[in-house]
Amino acid sequence: MMMCAIAELQAYCEDDLSEEKIALIFYETPTDPPPQGFDITVLQQLARFSDPPIAIVVPALLAECQLPQFLETDSNLIANILQWLHNLER
């Protein structure tokens, strides 16, 4: 089921968003219910996307994740994300 959803997301991004400049940034809402964490299998599938660029915001870096990661506790979080987005345009 998950593979189907990932394939549909990739097809949507490739077909419907191919003319748009977008980036996807995934994060968990830190409120009730408590965050469950990202599924590494899903992250590995998302890392295979060639477009759009995808990043995640996490409480601690995930060594097995190939996506760009930003720490949610970083005092420069927004600036770092904006810099990443800016670098994508180069």
pLDDT of residue 1: 46
pLDDT of residue 58: 93
pLDDT of residue 3: 57
User: In terms of pLDDT, which residue wins out, 10 or 61?
Assistant: 61
Secondary structure of residue 43 in the 3-state scheme = helix
Residue 34 has pLDDT above 60, yes or no: yes
**2 falls in which pLDDT band (50, 70, 90)?**
low
The most confident of the ranges 18-22, 36-40, 48-52, 61-65 is 61-65
Q: How far apart are CA 60 and CA 50, in angstroms?
A: 25
